Amino acid sequence: MTNAYQVYTGARQLLEGYAAAMQPLCRREGLAPNGVDILLFLANNPGLDTARDICTYRGLKPGIVSFHVEKLVQESGCELEYILLTHGHYDHVGAVAALKKATGCKVYMDPVDAQGSQLLPLTPDVLTDNWPANDELTIDELTFKIYHTPGHTGGGVCLSCYGLLFSGDTLFAGSCGRTDFPGGSMQEMAKSLSLLAELPLPDATKVLPGHEGFSTLGQERSTNPYMNGAWY
């Protein structure tokens, strides 16, 4: 039977191995010594769930997040052409302005969330456009359906495409986004969750939230108290 000490030891060994593997990259790129686990944080999103939290906690320069995204794009051989934003909170858009400047990509978000504030830092000039009037955005062979889901923010949206639902901070696995930030509304959130529950999408649709784990639409329809009304 695995005990807590064994779990801790195994996790520590994994972290040390990861750090050792990342040290050459950090030295080559002149990153802070404790920058070795930035990708680990970005991949697993543990506890500290924002780019700002990561940079503050790890003593990293704010630009390091956009640096890593740019580097990943460059090394993949892909060209960044579009950024689709579910809402405007800083933990989701912190690197967007830098990425647009570096790549010339198009940026889509509801302008309601482009306020230039600490919480909603993007300004209208960063946005390429609002969502299309017919709430469909086609990029090459992919068509994204946009659902307006205010509640977490005034301009929140969810997007569905090819059996996936990108639910941002509206719908989480077993829960929903908080509504106590400026611009949030529990009444609007309830309406948005009802909208998602009634979408003509199959239960097998994979739900990919902005935080925490993945789920399926069927699972959320049947067990999420915020979606099925059990919390009322």
pLDDT > 70 in the chain, percent: 66
Quote the domain boundaries for residue 27: 1-55
Q: Are strands 215-216 and 175-176 parallel, antiparallel or unpaired?
A: unpaired
Average pLDDT over residues 23-35: 54
Within a domain: 193: no
Would the pTM of this model clear 0.85, i.e. be above it? no
The mean predicted confidence, pLDDT, of the chain is 78
Within a domain: 101: no
DSSP one-letter string for 149-218: --SSSTT-EEEEETTEEEEETTEETTEE----STT--HHHHHHHHHHHHTSS--TTPEEEESSS--EEHH
Supply the pLDDT for residue 141.
Answer: 86
Residue 45 — very low, low, confident or very high, per pLDDT cuts 50/70/90?
very low
Within a domain: 128: no
Residue 223, pLDDT above cutoff 90: yes
Within a domain: 42: yes
Within a domain: 224: no
Supply the pLDDT for residue 129.
Answer: 77
Supply the pLDDT for residue 80.
Answer: 81
Within a domain: 47: yes
Give the C-alpha separation, 82 to 72, whole Å: 15
Within a domain: 16: yes
Give the C-alpha separation, 217 to 171, whole Å: 10
- Per-residue pLDDT tens over the stretch 123-160: 999 998 789 999 999 998 889 999 999 999 999 999 99
Count the domains in the chain: 1
Residue of 172, 155, 157, 158 whose CA lies nearest to 209: 172
Within a domain: 49: yes
Which is higher by pLDDT, 63 or 125?
125
Query: In this structure, what are the phi and psi dihedrals at residue 2, rounded to the nearest 5 degrees?
Result: -75, 130
